Amino acid sequence: MKVKDTAAALRGFRLFDWLYKYGTLLTILLLIVIFWASTDHFFSNSNLINILRSISIVTIIATGLTVSLAVGGFDLSVGSTASIACAVAISMFVWYGQPLAIGIAAALAACLVVGLANAMLVTRFKIQDMLMTLATMFVFQGLALTWSRGATISENMILPSGDFATGKIPEAFRLLGRVPWIIVIMLVVVLAAHLFLNYTKYGRYMYMIGGNPEAAKLSGIPVNRYRLAAYVISALLAGLGGIVLGARVGSAEVNAGAPYLMEAVAAAFIGFSVLGSGKPNALGTFAGAVLIGVLSNGLIMLSVPYYAMDIVKGGVLAGALAITYIRGRH
C-alpha cells in the first residue's frame, strides 16, 4: 500500500516536470493543430513565413531583454530604446540624407549611450532594476519624441522650416525589413544569444550573477562589469529591433517601439520554462514569441475581432506563466 502511494506520487512529480519542460512547446503544437483544423490557410508556407516575420521584431527586442534578465536585471526601457533607434536611423536618412552605414551606426551609437546610462544608474544607485528602468523608459521615450519633434518621420515630410524633406531611405535599408532578411536577422540574433549565454564564460558569469549576486561577487566575478555589459547588449538588441522596425514600416512613427515592450516581456517570461531551463534563455524566448505569434495569427484567421484578441492572448499568457511559476512553490 505504502509502496503504491510512493510510486503514484513519483509519477505525479514526473508528469509535472514533463509539463513544466514541454508545456510551452505542447501549447504551441496544440494551437497549430487547432488553427490548422479550423482554418483553410493556416498551414500554408506563406502563412508560416508570415508568422515568423510578424514575431521577428518582438523576438529581437525580447532577446535583449532576456540578456538583462539573465544577470538578474530587468530592462523595461527596451521599447523606448527601440523607438530611439528607429527615430535616429530614419531621421539620418530623411533629414540629413546620410547613407545606410551612417544611419545604422548612429542608431546603434545612440543605443550604446542608452545602455550605458541604464547600467550606470542601476549599478551606482542600487535601486531595483525594474524601477530604475521604468523611470528611464519614460526618459528615453521622451528623448525619442523630442528628437522627432513629436511627429512621425517619413520621406517627403514637411520640415519645421516649411520645406519638404528631401532625403530618401536607402533601398538596402528597406530590405532589412523584408523577408527573408528580417527572419534571418531574428534567427541569427536568437542563435548568437543562445550560444553566448550557454557556451561562453561570459554567459555563465551572467547566469551566476543572476542566480546569486553576492556569491558571484565573492567568487571573484566583477559583477558590475557584467551587469553593465548585459544592459549594453540589451540596449543594442533593442536598437536593432528598432532599426528593423523602421526598415519594415519605412518611417519612424511616434513611440514606434513602445507596443513591443509588453509582448517582449511576455515572450521572455514564457521562455523561462522551455525545456526545463528555469532561467531566462534565448531559445525559450523565441518559443515564447512563436507562441504569441501563432496565437495572434490564428485568431486573425478565425476572424476574431481585433478588440477581443487581447482577452485570448492574456489568457494564454496567464496559462503559460502558471506552468512556469507553479514549480516555484515546491
Binding residues (CB under 8 A) for another protein: these are 2, 5-6, 9-10, 13, 199-202, 204-205, 207-208, 211-212, 214-222, 278-279
Least distance in Å: CB of 67 to another protein?
A: 15
Complex with another protein: residue 164 or 199, whichever CB lies closer: 199
Least distance in Å: CB of 207 to another protein?
A: 7
Complex with another protein: residue 19 or 105, whichever CB lies closer: 19
Q: At what angle do helices 45-70 and 258-271 cross, to 10 degrees?
A: 80
Complex with another protein: residue 142 or 222, whichever CB lies closer: 222
> Whose CA is closest to 76, among 134, 117, 125?
134
Find all residues with CB under 8 Å of 329, minimum gap 6, and list them: none
Least distance in Å: CB of 323 to another protein?
A: 18
Separation of alpha carbons 177 and 186, rounded Å: 11
Least distance in Å: CB of 16 to another protein?
A: 11
Q: Count Cβ atoms within 10 A of the Cβ of residue 199 and give its class: 0-12 exposed, 13-18 middle, 19 or more buried.
A: exposed
Complex with another protein: residue 43 or 199, whichever CB lies closer: 199
Least distance in Å: CB of 318 to another protein?
A: 24
Q: Which amino acid, one-letter code, is at 147?
A: W
Complex with another protein: residue 163 or 214, whichever CB lies closer: 214
Least distance in Å: CB of 175 to another protein?
A: 32
- The per-residue DSSP string of 60-74 comes to HHHHHHHHHHHTT--
Complex with another protein: residue 152 or 198, whichever CB lies closer: 198
> Whose CA is closest to 197, among 289, 114, 271, 113?
271
Separation of alpha carbons 254 and 247, rounded Å: 15
